[in-house]
Structure 1
């Protein structure tokens, strides 16, 4: 995995083989950040990275100047790897070892961008819990985005607050926004 752009552009990172992760591909990550680059000033936003895994997405935000990044993952090895990497690059990333759903139920701070990369084999009901908890607990800022990465075989268009999706190879990003009800 490599950092696509920003201060750490081109840096390669190698996660331990024993982590239960599937990092976002470089192609999909580059396409996602091209979209976000047209909507946000990265140094002015806050980011919540759910099911953070290796921290791949968080490193990209940090490299582009985001100073408020929180990663949540329940795997100790993932949290340890993110902490070590963030420290070695002096990136402003904080980590929380927690079940994502427990975190969303009990957390109160809103974010500009919430990125979730749950296991691709999640049942639709589990995917649905993510936007449900985010919007029910007001965790997204007014002009913010919830982005869920999933397989192209999963359709999230029927979920509350769904806006649109973008497909990149086998990866898909579904975008959710606050809308007037």
Structure 2
């Protein structure tokens, strides 16, 4: 995987083969960050990266100037790898080793962007639980956005606060926002 833009543009990051991950493809990641770039200033936002895996998405935010990034993953190897990479590049990434659903049930905080990339083989009710918990616990800032990555075989359009989705090959990003009054 590589960092697409920002301070660490073109840097390759090689994750250990034994991590239970499926990193977001460069094409999908570039398209996602074009959408985010049109809505936010990277140096002004706070980010929560759920099911962080290799940290691929968090490195991209850090490279573009985001200084408030939290990664949550339950795999010790993933957390260790993210910590090592963040230290190597001096990136402001905080990690939390936790089951994402348990974390969301107890989380307090306010994030401008929450990105979730759960395993594609999750049942639909697990995918739907992510926006349910994020909005029930008011984890998004007023103009915040929840982005859930999933396969084209999963539909999240029926979820509360669903706004729109974008597809890139087999990857789909569903966007959720607080409805303005």
Asked if these proteins are the same fold (TM beyond 0.5), I'd say yes
Runs (4+) of structure 1 moved beyond 4 Å? Answer: none
Cα deviation code 1:2-59 (max 9, x no counterpart): 0000000000000000000000000000000001101000000000000000000000
Shift of 1:179: 1.2
In angstroms, what is the RMSD of aligned CA positions?
Answer: 0.7
- Equivalence for 1:28: 28
1:162-177 matches, within 5 Å, as 162-177=162-177
Unpaired segments of 5 or more residues in structure 2? none
Q: How many residues align?
A: 181
TM-score of the aligned structures, taking structure 1 as reference length: 0.99
Shift of 1:180: 4.8
CA distance in 1, matches of 2:123, 2:141: 27
- Equivalence for 2:10: 10
Question: 1:42 aligned to 2:42?
Answer: yes
Cα deviation code 1:96-118 (max 9, x no counterpart): 00000000000110100000000
TM-score of the aligned structures, taking structure 2 as reference length: 0.99
Q: Specify the SS of the correspondent of 1:3.
A: coil
Question: 1:148 aligned to 2:154?
Answer: no
- Equivalence for 1:88: 88
Unpaired segments of 5 or more residues in structure 1? none
